[in-house]
């Protein structure tokens, strides 16, 4: 799963000329779902986005000190399969994005995961599969890319190998 996280003063989504979601200060999160994503990818993204310290602490003056939940700000999630676009020549190819019939329920479960982990009223989303106009006022600007493939994976330390000089060494698998 791949996300683009933007700190915003405000953001909204329009579909067919009608505003369907909007937030004040907070995070706009563009979400791309990979064909091989599983629940642990969604867990990682939810945890990291909600805990990213992208906001200053007004009391201490420290920059990069508070997360969206500490500020009681909004989160606007927008599905965007084009985050997994690959250019073949000049034409984009989206074959590594999860197909829509699987991605729609997966994305819906991600939205619910955010709502359960934070505050249901503070988490908004766009309309899956719709042509949307996403309006935002960047704050900073602050933009982060987050990919669930960056998550730490358990290491299997059970494999030993013998090097050319006869010395055994530990071969770690991720």
What is the total count of domains within the chain?
1
Of 3, 60, 82, 143, catalytic? 82
Q: Return the CATH number at 111.
A: 3.50.80.10
**Is 19 assigned a catalytic role?**
no
Q: How far apart are CA 64 and CA 43, in angstroms?
A: 23
Query: Cβ neighbours of residue 108 under 8 Å, at least 6 residues apart?
Result: 128
Tokens of 4: 């683009």
Q: Residue 122 to residues 17, 28, 32: CA-CA distances in angstroms?
A: 23, 12, 21
Domain span at residue 92 reads 2-173
In order along its 174 residues, the chain shows pLDDT tens digits of 999 999 999 999 999 999 999 999 999 999 999 999 999 999 999 999 999 999 999 999 999 999 999 999 999 999 999 999 999 899 999 999 999 999 999 999 999 999 999 999 999 999 999 999 999 999 999 999 999 988 754 444 444 445 555 554 444 444
Question: Rounded to two decimals, what is the model's pTM?
Answer: 0.86
Q: Which two tokens stand for residue 147?
A: 């990919």
């Amino acid at each position: 799963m791949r996300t683009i996280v933007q700190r915003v003063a405000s953001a909204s989504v329009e579909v067919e000329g009608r505003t369907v979601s909007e937030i004040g200060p907070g995070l706009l999160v563009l979400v791309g779902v990979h064909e091989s994503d599983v629940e642990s990818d969604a867990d990682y993204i939810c945890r990291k986005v909600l805990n990213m310290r992208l906001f200053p602490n007004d009391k201490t003056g420290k920059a990069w000190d508070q997360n969206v939940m500490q500020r009681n700000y909004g989160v606007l999630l927008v599905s965007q399969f084009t985050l997994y676009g690959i250019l073949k020549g000049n034409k984009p190819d989206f074959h590594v994005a999860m197909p829509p019939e699987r991605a729609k329920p997966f994305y819906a479960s991600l939205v619910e995961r955010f709502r359960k982990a934070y505050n249901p009223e503070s988490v908004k989303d766009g309309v899956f599969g719709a042509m949307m106009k996403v309006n935002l006022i960047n704050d900073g600007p602050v933009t982060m890319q987050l990919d669930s493939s960056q998550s730490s994976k358990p290491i299997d330390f059970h494999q030993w190998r013998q090097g050319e000089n006869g010395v055994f060494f530990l071969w770690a698998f991720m």
